[in-house]
Copies of this chain bind each other. A is one copy, B any other.
Amino acid sequence: MMAKKPAELAKAIRTPLTVDDGIDFSMIELFFFAYRDFTSDPDQLLATYGFGRAHHRVVHFVNRIPGLTVAELLDVLKITKQSLARVLKQLIDTGYIVQIQGLRDRRQRELYPTAKGRDLALALAAPQSRRIANALTRLDTQDRETVETFLKSMVDPDLRAQIEQLPGGAGNVQDKAVAEPEATR
């Protein structure tokens, strides 16, 4: 196993990559570890329900945008309908989400949370919100805006539109104008 033909050994580099290589490793790693722990609380809770992260995302957005259609949800999540179908079916079968046939277009299925689904969404979001609030206590009030601006700038410009439409959301960082009221019927 060990026997390596010395001939085929590529030379090992023994010096670490650092910020001197022109890369902001410090921030890259902070972002990686921060997100990993950010997802760990809901992950643990989900496991007790027999659900995974995919279920979390669906429950989250259906609660944030009740009545969105399957196609709209696919667009937010950027996954295929076959992928969505599996978790969505489970959530419907177990009573967390209901589908209602669209009024203006009866082909569409509008997705709504049930009371059970609402409770789950809140339970999943609570520890994440707590973690964020705790991290913000170390900062000045105006620093919250700094963090928001940073995170928002990390998002691809063309995808920022989606975020702005979310209710009571982070709205616009640069111009404080409000998003136009979606006729959520």
Contacts and interface: CB of A to CB of B under 8 A. Distances in A.
A-side binding surface: helix, strand, loop or mixed? helix
Contacts of A147: 27, 146-147, 150
B151 A34 contact: yes
A10 B154 contact: no
A101 interface: yes
A13 B66 contact: yes
A14 B68 CA distance: 10
A183 interface: no
A104 interface: no
B2 A168 contact: no
A23 interface: yes
Given A35-B31, A143-B146, A159-B33, A98 B12 contact: yes
A9 B101 CA distance: 12
B152 A34 contact: yes
B126 A153 contact: no
A30 B152 CA distance: 6
A27 B122 contact: no
A146 to B, nearest CB: 5
Interface in A106-121: 112-118, 121
B154 A131 contact: yes
Which A-B residue pairs are the 5 nearest by beta carbons? A18-B168, A12-B112, A135-B153, A26-B170, A34-B154
10 contacts: A4-B99, A12-B66, A12-B98, A12-B114, A17-B122, A17-B125, A25-B166, A27-B129, A143-B150, A147-B150
